[in-house]
Structure 1
Amino acid sequence: MEQRLLEQAIGAAGRPVSAEPFGEGRIVRFLVEDGQDRGDWFVDTSRQAVPAETGFVIRDRDGRTIARIWKHPLDPRLPALRTVLDPERLIRIAAAAGSTGEIDGRVLAYRPGRRAVVRLTQHDTHLFVKVVRPGEAEDLAEIHRACRAAGVPAPEVVHWTPAGVVVVRDADGTAGPVAATRMSADDLLDAVDALREQLLRVQTRRIARPSVGTRLAWHLDRLTTALPEREHEIAQLRPALSPHLKRDGQPKAVHGDLHIGQLFFTDGTVSSVIDVDTAGLGDQCDDTAAFIGHATASAVRNEVAGRASDAALLHTLAEVAADRWMQQPHTAALTSLHLIGHAIRAVDRSREAAGLLLDEALDLQRIRRAR
């Protein structure tokens, strides 16, 4: 359907690249490779209002919006995105952060309608621009400040604007995936435990990213659609997981998306933790599940790609973390859901990887595999 809508709007169907649920529908990314309209295009069928239209709008006979179509970077929910990719405005942003000279901007991450991360490079120094919806920037700057005040080594915010821009300094230390090859699993997890203790001291009323446990039906339905041949096994996860998803006890300060890719290490300690955008009051078991799930998913990706030594190292990290932290069915249930989420994202790239991740989720719940 989205291809037909795009072709109706610009006369080219494009090649689908990715799709993400949004509102009542989804936002699908297409690559148009030739002609005057070449570039990345997005078709949004969420039916959710935007502050101002930035592209084509398709409405039904009653005037209700069926879809909106825009070309990157004209995201109607992230109006600052086009600003931070404008070369002249990039110079102004860097100047506001106290830097001058020729500058290069590169999009590192982009979730349409939600957020983007742009890396600015100037004199071999990096700054990172987080682009969010207008009105969210002050909250984002504040959680960075609260983390740093509690001793959590989040990047320093050097500039922010209400339009939806937050500029932070580069992280210090060795990236987590590299550090994992130089530290024992136990030493690395000791450092992560120390970081989690620091997080408990963060003074905030902000709510962390919603727990993966709130979206059981969505995850299972999506995976069933992606792997219909394994419908029977996936169906068994629902009764296995649902009794164990409710948080026990009061919410505590957590990262919200804790994994090895968010961490940097110096002399055996966590010297930087990035993407604290998700931090706030939540369930500590979600951080545990995110860490184990991500390490396992990374191991599976390396395994499928033929990088056996990297896969073994990450499997070991996940197993040691599980032995240390997975002491209750609640944590195991959340970890299974994280693995299912990784499986859903893996399907388009590798059905083998998706199947292996489903196997891991089933094994955690002691559900017999059909194959």
Structure 2
Amino acid sequence: MQEARLLERAIGEAGRLVAVEPFGEGSIARFTVDAGENAGEWFVDTSRQAVPRETGFVVRGTEGLVARIWRHPLDPRLPSLRTAVDPVKLARIAAAAGTSGEIEARVLAYRPGRRAVVRLTQHGVHLFVKVVRPSEAESLVDIHDACRAADVPAPEVVHWSPAGIVVVPDAEGTAGPVAAARTSPDALLDAVDDLRERFLAVDTTRIARASVGTRLEWHLERIAAALPDRRGEVAELLPALAPHVRRIGPPRSVHGDLHIGQLFFTGPRVSSVIDVDTAGLGDPADDAAAFVGHALASAARNAAAGRDGDAAVLEGIAAEAGERWLRDPHATALTSLHLLAHGIRAAERSPEAAHRLVDRARELVRDRVGR
């Protein structure tokens, strides 16, 4: 692939492809180099979008910028990331705040160019550092505050910096996947429905994360490249999905990336919802699709790994959520796209799971989009 050739041109080796995400006019591809002086995670950015300061290699062609390449954590759009994962610098910050002792920094999530979540642990206490573009930090604080004002239990911001840092405490309650194993799908989804209603009341002008429907052709091209023997079946999805991916109705306040892993439960109620970084005005059907798609993708991964009990729990939740929320071709088409997006990420590590996800996406199109 082009990105691998660009990385080899820059550092002398192509690395192992881990993931690709759409970005700007192109994408950002993540590679791992396992050994040697270049060992680590490398990123090849073909978006052609400007950055405040270059932090790695720049590849130019006759028509200008072709790609920029950097090694983690030197993300040019997230300048605070290198501080958030540096235990020495974190210890100095903690000392200035009056605490001492070893700090463990663990990256829990990272979307290159967009955001990262780093868990800091000191004396058994967790704090979560959201690393974002400097221009987005204040907006992230505002959406946390707006959610809490509408009785959406987002974490309280305990510290933030215009350099692109927002710090929140640990979530309260039982983690969603654990609660799911102890609760009936019907009761769990009653709590999620209540949360979704509260999200609609969030007062914000912020724009939610872009709908998966805005990248229809990109997702189809990528899953076809990842599973070339399914290319013909994937191609058949384009005319079936294209008429149904646009939002129906005005934008409403939504989470933007709702799934069971974002939720914590106390009794019959969602007591915490995390990662509201993606929240804002958007399409309520995207939250439904993200939730069902994530449940089905998690079920496929568990089934491929032989964890049939966990897979069955998630399948039950997805089935109930589908009956509640996937009642029109629009929400169903978005869910199919979410499944393909999960399939792209699964293809490298679990081809079996990726094939399962393509099958489920095709089943949804066949059984529901045409209703």
TM-score by length of 1: 0.92
Give the letter for the 1:188 counterpart: L
The aligned counterpart of 2:166 is 166
Deviation at 1:97, TM superposition (A): 7.6
Give the letter for the 1:43 counterpart: V
Deviation at 1:83, TM superposition (A): 1.6
Query: Structure 2: how far apart are the matches of 1:113 and 1:214?
Result: 19
Give the letter for the 1:36 counterpart: E
CA RMSD after TM alignment: 2.2
Cα deviation code 1:260-319 (max 9, x no counterpart): 000001112111000101111111111111111111111111111111111111111100
Query: Structure 2: how far apart are the matches of 1:76 and 1:87?
Result: 20
The alpha-carbon distance between structure 1 residues 194 and 68, as it changes in their structure 2 partners (threshold 3 A), is: same
The aligned counterpart of 1:324 is 324
SS at match of 1:53: coil
| Runs (5+) with no aligned partner, structure 1 | none
**Aligned residues of 1:47 and 1:67 also touching (Cα < 8 A):** yes
SS at match of 1:327: coil
Give the letter for the 1:145 counterpart: D
Asked whether 1:178 is paired with 2:178, we answer: yes
The aligned counterpart of 1:42 is 43
Give the letter for the 1:131 counterpart: V
Deviation at 1:115, TM superposition (A): 1.1
The aligned counterpart of 2:187 is 187
Query: Structure 2: how far apart are the matches of 1:97 and 1:362?
Result: 54
SS at match of 2:121: strand
TM-score by length of 2: 0.92
**Aligned residues of 1:97 and 1:159 also touching (Cα < 8 A):** no
Q: What does residue range 22-61 of structure 1 map to in structure 2 within 5 Å?
A: 22-60=23-61
Cα deviation code 1:75-99 (max 9, x no counterpart): 1111111122222431355568885
Aligned pairs, how many?
367
Give the letter for the 1:60 counterpart: G
SS at match of 2:224: helix
Larger mean Cα displacement after TM superposition, 123-132 or 67-76? 67-76
Q: What does residue range 172-251 of structure 1 map to in structure 2 within 5 Å?
A: 172-251=172-251
**Aligned residues of 1:97 and 1:158 also touching (Cα < 8 A):** no
The aligned counterpart of 1:292 is 292
SS at match of 1:160: strand
Deviation at 1:336, TM superposition (A): 1.3
Deviation at 1:6, TM superposition (A): 3.5
| Runs (5+) with no aligned partner, structure 2 | none
Give the letter for the 2:162 counterpart: P
Query: Structure 2: how far apart are the matches of 1:217 and 1:61?
Result: 27
The aligned counterpart of 2:123 is 123
Query: Structure 2: how far apart are the matches of 1:37 and 1:322?
Result: 46
The alpha-carbon distance between structure 1 residues 93 and 291, as it changes in their structure 2 partners (threshold 3 A), is: farther
Asked whether 1:73 is paired with 2:73, we answer: yes
Cα deviation code 1:224-271 (max 9, x no counterpart): 222332233223322222222222222211111111000001112111
Query: Structure 1: how far apart are the matches of 2:324 and 2:261?
Result: 20
Query: Structure 2: how far apart are the matches of 1:12 and 1:330?
Result: 43
**Aligned residues of 1:253 and 1:281 also touching (Cα < 8 A):** yes
Give the letter for the 2:41 counterpart: D
